[in-house]
Chain A
Amino acid sequence: MTRPKAIVLHAAGTNRDPDACVALGLAGADPEIVHVNQLRSGERRLSDYRMLVIPGGFSYADALGAGRILALDLASYFADQVAEFVASGRPVIGVCNGFQALVKAGILPGDSAGDRSAAGDGTGGRRRATLARNENGRFECRRSTLLAPPSACVWTGGLPGPLACPIAHGEGRFVVDSDATLERLRDEGQIALVYGRDDGSAAGGVPADGEYPANPNGSVADIAGICNPAGNALGLMPHPENNVVVRGRDGEARRERTLACLALWKNGVDYAKEL
């Protein structure tokens, strides 16, 4: 099977696009960084790719809130293309700023009731979730441990254990509008990743239970990443693309956590291959 082509979307201020390319390359994909201008001009078409990656950074300087203007791009310029891409079941991942954009564009959490279609007017519809300023009000960069509970997500299924990777964000607190929304996310298997405490074991530890710094931003239910009900689109705040290379100085536990990050990317790539 040839390497599936992955589009890595770049807007002014995107900065972890090369990092995502490293991870995608190691995971067996053929990544290409594509500027939103190239999509707008028709020089590139979303439908020519088998994976969509919206990487981290500070798109448009995070003016007016993290990811908000990139969300506007997604919801106004590319609404149909993106909707079609997601609906086709091809794997989509938004990391950090990309996650913020997917949520603010109404693409995640997304549901069958047409939450996303309401986003087509550029207003994000009546969003049920958002990513707000961290509980402590600060940008923070630190190592996090991620656990993958059973979910519908094609990216996080069957991971060998917990992931260890950095977070680096100021607006990563996952917030929902109601308990009912949280229940629905649970019922639909949309909670793909939660912050945990690493106990060093292979099984990997327990959820952070809201405790800082294991839960670094105050996210409800320790949620670090969510997927759409179909499971092909994942958004997450931490950066698994920044821990895909095993370093010689790493101990065994660290090595396993690194390989788990790489496994997440491989899941997405393998899924794209099978489509």
Chain B
Amino acid sequence: MEVTTDVYRFIVRPKERPGGRNRHDACPLAADARALGLSSVRAIERAALYFVRGTMAPKELSLLGRFLFSDPLVEDCSWSRVGDDGPGGGAARGDGRDASRRIGARLVETALRPGVTDPVADEAMRAAAELGVAGVEAVASGEAFFVEGDGLGDDELASLAERLLCNGVIQRWAVGAIVPAWPDEAAGSGAVERFDLAGMDDEALLALSAERRAALDLAEMTAIRGYYRREGRACTDAEFETIAQTWSEHCVHKTFKARIEVRAGGEAGAPYPPVVDNVLKSYIKRATDEIAAPWVLSAFVDNAGIVEFDDGYELSFKVETHNHPSAVEPFGGANTGVGGVIRDVMGVSARPIAATDVLCFGPPDASPEDLPAGSPHPRRVASGVIAGVQDYGNKMGVPTVNGGIHYDPGYAANPLVYCGCAGIAPRGGHPRAQAAGDRVVALGGRTGRDGLRGATFSSMVMDSSTGELSGASVQIGAPIVQKKLSEALLAARDAGLYTAVTDCGAGGLSSAVGEMAFELGADVDLARAPLKYPGLAPWEIWLSEAQERMVVAVPPAKMDELRAVCSGLDVELTDLGCFTGDGRLVVRYGGAVVIDLDCGFLHSGPPQRALVATPPSGSRPAASRPTARAAGPAPSIAEALLAILAHPAVRSRESTVRLYDHEVQGATVLGPYAGLRADGPQDAAVLKPRESTGSRAVALSNGFNQRYGAADPYRMAVSALDEAVRNAAAVGADPDRVAVLDNFCLGDPTIPETMWTLLEAARGCYDAATAHRTPFVSGKDSFNNAYLAPDGRRVSVPPSLLISAIGIVPDDSVVPGSDLKAPGDRLYLVGSAEPSFGGSVYADLYGVPDGADPGVPAASPAAPATYRALHRAIAAGLVRACHDLSDGGSAAAVAEMCLGGRLGARFRLPGPPETALFGEANGRLVVEVEPKDAAEFERTMDGAPYMRIGAVEATGELRLEADGVEATVSLDDLCAAYRGERSER
């Protein structure tokens, strides 16, 4: 047997399937390539690549190829020794078979860059050992693409690789066979840099901030200089990075807490004092404080907001954004966005029970010329983001049950990825009692360079070089590692093994240990941290945002028991040091002290930022102005309804939603789609966690409308909150037990108009929350959602505010769902408000109808009472179906109810036809009531506005009436339009 180490290359391809269906359907890559303008690409076949380094006998190679890497019934595997093969051939000939069965196909291969987590390779290593193949030293994975097309030159292949097949941030590519790369033994470098910060002038301070991508301004840098002057010593790189991270927008919300000078006169400025000191306190927290709901158990303190579920349990809920990482690497960004928010819930000692995702992309049909230079096509961003959400939630076993997808040209270069997670825990089971002497213990994944400076990166405006420069900011998820971690933490919680816990999110250990040691101080040694690969400097270990890690404070007496729990679940545990009680954050690398900071200085935060808010001068940007009706004949009612149902804001997201497991945990009472054929869209998800022993359930919903935001941020906020609460009420949540979360995504805060938008939206949040009596329990703000194109054009996202709601459904047996149930039932419209057209779907298609209100929907003063009355009716079992009126107006809502139940209906609303049928307003829902319950329903609704509008019919059509018009649309046409099968407008 040979003793030299060889590298073998295995390629695994699906078997040809004679009589199989059109294989081009199964490979959407070719369609994507053509959409990118590579029109000569006919087909792209994907194959898996594995490289194995070691000493293996032929029989062992066969075992790896035939059993481990391939399924011989459906896949062909061939292998060869690297070096035996001509370069660039790709026709691996190890077992004599010709792998190039696609005559004329060209080969493009990709592999991960060194240092990028390769979980497949890790499992393959373990499995090879289990198979008894002992000579395997290392495994690496990759992908091969066989590209068919006429006259494909190297330029086209390079373009295909760069724009579609390979993500340069985490992968390399080659035309022909790629050369594998191997990670080396992992040990840190111990290298520490020191700067004489105390002696720097202002210019040097700013240069340092820029060079280290710290995103700190002069006032902040000056404060740091002051500290080192007082300490009378040099600053280490690790200290500087720690301060930059701790003081980043991401971590301390400088903008939300800024002192804002309001420069606005007249009516616009009337609602504001001359100076708003801290938006968070002035509007968001103030609403929570004034409502003072006794069932709010934790708001704005922990990693997630916490509310009471019942006497035994509490619910936690958190929504985060992961926008910049998703712009650079859509799959990894979204993947770790989901992973990160799940860890937030694990960080309040809860069991994750649901994931939510609201995604904002550029238009899927955007032509490449219209996109800002340097940004990937929205189709690619969307497919990557969706795959990332799918991968993490599904593998963690957390059902993804609520969300949305929104399209706007403003998201083309800067997608928004909101990831949410809800959890459940025993009341009072989340300890926050770390004490001096407790061990500082890291659990979970290993540390690499992943996501370095993510906190500061997310606090900057992106430009076309961002992808390249921030390669290190990309984080790669390993959901199974986190699944194990979650199991270990719950076991540790139940056994009382830790006194405090937090997740490693932005800022990594620096942020997690720093926060936990905020009062006590800590002394830790980074040389103990297990690494993924060698060469990390101490500051890199300290700041790494490698995923799937949590930090717990553990009394020394509990360490053995925690070790046993972790080893039983194959979770890595590292004792980094201890909490000291002296108020100093001391970080060592072996013998050398790399950080010695006063916790008080670190956590006093940066000096308060001073910002200015000014209303936009003159008219609003053209894109956001409701357009006047386009010339030409007005559409017919039927035509308009079908176009609205097919509009990207309304049409079915089922093909995306079905990629998410929304049933795991067996708690899903009402999922994203329900009804006769499970394709009717629902307003909110209802879950009955297995901890619930009675009839109590949880509703999760959201409200979001960027078209409103572009036109009127105040009313956007009012509308988003109303929609979130309305959606929760529609599925039976008690409006007196709904808590909300705010997630702002805005542009550059140093632009006064951005701050004006923030003020307006925050004031809307306050007004709406206090009107509905829904306290904010958590929130997050993301600024600098803007992109500076090479031509100097600055593209900001439209003002975007997501309101997420979590509500208690007292009785899961009366959850109505939006699908119609039986012919002959009555239809009621509950709530009252004057519909308008600002930001409406109708206006987006046809402009604002003549004489109609062009404004964004205002608050509906009747809404709070309406929802409470509706709740009484639902709780009494009087409501068979209920659906909220939002995008597209009343006609779209009733149409969705019809298609959910595959039943017809007729309804009539008074008023001008467009306004009555397509105008949008807050505070309204349509309700289906059995005739025998009608009198009781009307009695129950007494005091709240309601109107009988029609009935459910056994016919296969929807009949709509308003003043002077009547229209009929068949159920088949409604379904086809809603499914996007009717593309013409």
Q: Which residues of A contact B (CB under 8 A)?
A: 12-13, 15-16, 18-19, 22-23, 35, 37-38, 56-58, 60-65, 68-69, 72-73, 76-77, 104, 122-124, 127, 129-130, 132-133, 135-143, 166, 168, 175, 177, 218, 239, 241-245, 247-249
A65 touches B71 (CB 8 A): yes
CB contacts (< 8 Å) of A16 on chain B: these are: 397, 664, 666
CB contacts (< 8 Å) of B813 on chain A: these are: 247-249
CB contacts (< 8 Å) of A62 on chain B: these are: 395
- Segment from B148-156, B202-210, B555-563, B814-822 that makes contact with A: B814-822
Q: A60-B123, A104-B71 are in contact. Are A135 and B21 (CB under 8 A)?
A: yes
A58 touches B395 (CB 8 A): yes
Instruction: Determine if B66 is an interface residue (Cβ-Cβ < 8 Å).
Output: yes
A247 touches B669 (CB 8 A): yes
B131 touches A122 (CB 8 A): yes
Nearest-CB residue, chain A, relative to B119: A61
Q: A141-B662, A248-B814 are in contact. Are A61 and B71 (CB under 8 A)?
A: no
Q: A244-B666, A245-B666 are in contact. Are A139 and B690 (CB under 8 A)?
A: no
CB contacts (< 8 Å) of A129 on chain B: these are: 73
Nearest-CB residue, chain B, relative to A166: B663
Contact among A130, A139, A141 with B663 in the assembled complex (CB-CB below 8 Å): A141
Expressed in whole angstroms, the Cα–Cα distance for A221 and B54 within the complex equals: 43
Beyond known contacts A130-B71, A137-B27, A177-B73: 10 more, CB 8 A cutoff: A38-B568, A61-B119, A61-B479, A63-B119, A123-B63, A129-B73, A136-B25, A138-B659, A142-B678, A239-B663
Instruction: Determine if B3 is an interface residue (Cβ-Cβ < 8 Å).
Output: no
Q: A63-B119, A123-B63, A141-B663 are in contact. Are A72 and B131 (CB under 8 A)?
A: yes
Q: Which residues of B contact A (CB under 8 A)?
A: 14, 21, 25-28, 63, 66-69, 71-74, 119-120, 122-124, 126-127, 130-132, 390, 394-397, 478-480, 483-484, 568-570, 658-666, 668-670, 678, 690, 695, 811-817
Expressed in whole angstroms, the Cα–Cα distance for A110 and B670 within the complex equals: 39
Q: Chain A's nearest CB lies how many Å from the CB of B902?
A: 12
A130 touches B74 (CB 8 A): yes
Expressed in whole angstroms, the Cα–Cα distance for A58 and B27 within the complex equals: 24
Nearest-CB residue, chain A, relative to B48: A64
CB contacts (< 8 Å) of A137 on chain B: these are: 25-28
Contact among A15, A18, A22 with B396 in the assembled complex (CB-CB below 8 Å): A15
Q: A58-B480, A63-B124 are in contact. Are A242 and B814 (CB under 8 A)?
A: no
CB contacts (< 8 Å) of B661 on chain A: these are: 139, 141, 168
Q: A12-B480, A137-B26 are in contact. Are A64 and B658 (CB under 8 A)?
A: no
Q: A57-B397, A76-B130, A132-B71 are in contact. Are A139 and B480 (CB under 8 A)?
A: no
Q: A12-B480, A16-B664 are in contact. Are A35 and B569 (CB under 8 A)?
A: yes
CB contacts (< 8 Å) of B397 on chain A: these are: 15-16, 57
In the assembled complex, 24 residue pairs joining A and B whose CB atoms fall closer than 8 Å, in A order, are: A12-B569, A15-B483, A37-B568, A37-B570, A58-B394, A61-B478, A63-B122, A68-B68, A76-B130, A122-B130, A122-B131, A123-B63, A130-B71, A137-B27, A139-B659, A140-B658, A141-B663, A168-B663, A177-B73, A218-B21, A241-B666, A243-B666, A247-B669, A248-B812
Expressed in whole angstroms, the Cα–Cα distance for A210 and B127 within the complex equals: 35
CB contacts (< 8 Å) of B814 on chain A: these are: 248-249
Expressed in whole angstroms, the Cα–Cα distance for A22 and B480 within the complex equals: 23
- Counting chain B CB atoms within 10 Å of each CB, the highest count among A58, A63, A130, A135 belongs to A63
B26 touches A136 (CB 8 A): yes
Expressed in whole angstroms, the Cα–Cα distance for A177 and B72 within the complex equals: 10
CB contacts (< 8 Å) of B119 on chain A: these are: 61, 63
Q: Chain B's nearest CB lies how many Å from the CB of A20?
A: 9
B662 touches A63 (CB 8 A): no
A123 touches B666 (CB 8 A): no
Q: Chain A's nearest CB lies how many Å from the CB of B38?
A: 21
Q: Chain A's nearest CB lies how many Å from the CB of B352?
A: 11
Q: A16-B664, A69-B127, A130-B73 are in contact. Are A122 and B817 (CB under 8 A)?
A: no
CB contacts (< 8 Å) of A18 on chain B: these are: 665, 690
CB contacts (< 8 Å) of B678 on chain A: these are: 142-143
B663 touches A72 (CB 8 A): no
Q: Can you list the 5 inter-chain pairs with the closest CB atoms, starting with the nearest?
A: A248-B813, A15-B397, A63-B123, A166-B663, A13-B480
CB contacts (< 8 Å) of B665 on chain A: these are: 18-19
Expressed in whole angstroms, the Cα–Cα distance for A211 and B298 within the complex equals: 51
CB contacts (< 8 Å) of B483 on chain A: these are: 12-13, 15
Q: Chain B's nearest CB lies how many Å from the CB of A96?
A: 10
Q: A12-B483, A12-B484, A58-B480 are in contact. Are A247 and B812 (CB under 8 A)?
A: yes
Q: Chain B's nearest CB lies how many Å from the CB of A68?
A: 7
CB contacts (< 8 Å) of A142 on chain B: these are: 658, 678
Q: Chain A's nearest CB lies how many Å from the CB of B12?
A: 9
Contact among B14, B66, B478, B811 with A123 in the assembled complex (CB-CB below 8 Å): B66
- Counting chain A CB atoms within 10 Å of each CB, the highest count among B26, B666, B814 belongs to B666
CB contacts (< 8 Å) of B669 on chain A: these are: 247, 249
Q: Chain A's nearest CB lies how many Å from the CB of B961?
A: 30
Nearest-CB residue, chain B, relative to A127: B73
A140 touches B659 (CB 8 A): yes
Q: Chain B's nearest CB lies how many Å from the CB of A8?
A: 14
CB contacts (< 8 Å) of B666 on chain A: these are: 16, 19, 22-23, 241-245
CB contacts (< 8 Å) of A56 on chain B: these are: 664
Q: Chain B's nearest CB lies how many Å from the CB of A30?
A: 17
Expressed in whole angstroms, the Cα–Cα distance for A72 and B25 within the complex equals: 32
Nearest-CB residue, chain A, relative to B690: A22
Q: A61-B478, A248-B813 are in contact. Are A168 and B124 (CB under 8 A)?
A: no
Nearest-CB residue, chain A, relative to B26: A137
Q: Chain A's nearest CB lies how many Å from the CB of B64?
A: 10
Expressed in whole angstroms, the Cα–Cα distance for A13 and B570 within the complex equals: 11
CB contacts (< 8 Å) of B130 on chain A: these are: 69, 72-73, 76-77, 122
Expressed in whole angstroms, the Cα–Cα distance for A245 and B665 within the complex equals: 12
Nearest-CB residue, chain A, relative to B670: A249
CB contacts (< 8 Å) of B660 on chain A: these are: 141
Contact among B132, B484, B811 with A122 in the assembled complex (CB-CB below 8 Å): B132
Q: Chain B's nearest CB lies how many Å from the CB of A247?
A: 6
CB contacts (< 8 Å) of A247 on chain B: these are: 669, 812-813, 815
CB contacts (< 8 Å) of A140 on chain B: these are: 658-659
Expressed in whole angstroms, the Cα–Cα distance for A224 and B690 within the complex equals: 27
Expressed in whole angstroms, the Cα–Cα distance for A35 and B568 within the complex equals: 8
Nearest-CB residue, chain A, relative to B71: A130
Expressed in whole angstroms, the Cα–Cα distance for A222 and B727 within the complex equals: 38
Expressed in whole angstroms, the Cα–Cα distance for A65 and B131 within the complex equals: 16
Contact among A104, A141, A218, A242 with B659 in the assembled complex (CB-CB below 8 Å): A141
CB contacts (< 8 Å) of A35 on chain B: these are: 568-569
Expressed in whole angstroms, the Cα–Cα distance for A15 and B397 within the complex equals: 5
CB contacts (< 8 Å) of A73 on chain B: these are: 130
Expressed in whole angstroms, the Cα–Cα distance for A182 and B480 within the complex equals: 35
Contact among A72, A175, A248 with B74 in the assembled complex (CB-CB below 8 Å): A175
B659 touches A15 (CB 8 A): no
Q: Chain B's nearest CB lies how many Å from the CB of A137?
A: 4
CB contacts (< 8 Å) of B658 on chain A: these are: 138, 140-142
Q: Chain A's nearest CB lies how many Å from the CB of B58?
A: 15
Nearest-CB residue, chain A, relative to B118: A63
Q: A19-B664, A72-B131 are in contact. Are A249 and B816 (CB under 8 A)?
A: yes
CB contacts (< 8 Å) of A104 on chain B: these are: 71
Nearest-CB residue, chain A, relative to B28: A137
Expressed in whole angstroms, the Cα–Cα distance for A56 and B813 within the complex equals: 28
- Counting chain B CB atoms within 10 Å of each CB, the highest count among A61, A122, A130 belongs to A61
Expressed in whole angstroms, the Cα–Cα distance for A241 and B663 within the complex equals: 10
Q: Chain A's nearest CB lies how many Å from the CB of B673?
A: 9
A249 touches B815 (CB 8 A): yes
Expressed in whole angstroms, the Cα–Cα distance for A76 and B174 within the complex equals: 38
Expressed in whole angstroms, the Cα–Cα distance for A247 and B74 within the complex equals: 41
Nearest-CB residue, chain A, relative to B569: A35
A139 touches B27 (CB 8 A): no
Nearest-CB residue, chain A, relative to B398: A15
Expressed in whole angstroms, the Cα–Cα distance for A44 and B816 within the complex equals: 46
B27 touches A60 (CB 8 A): no
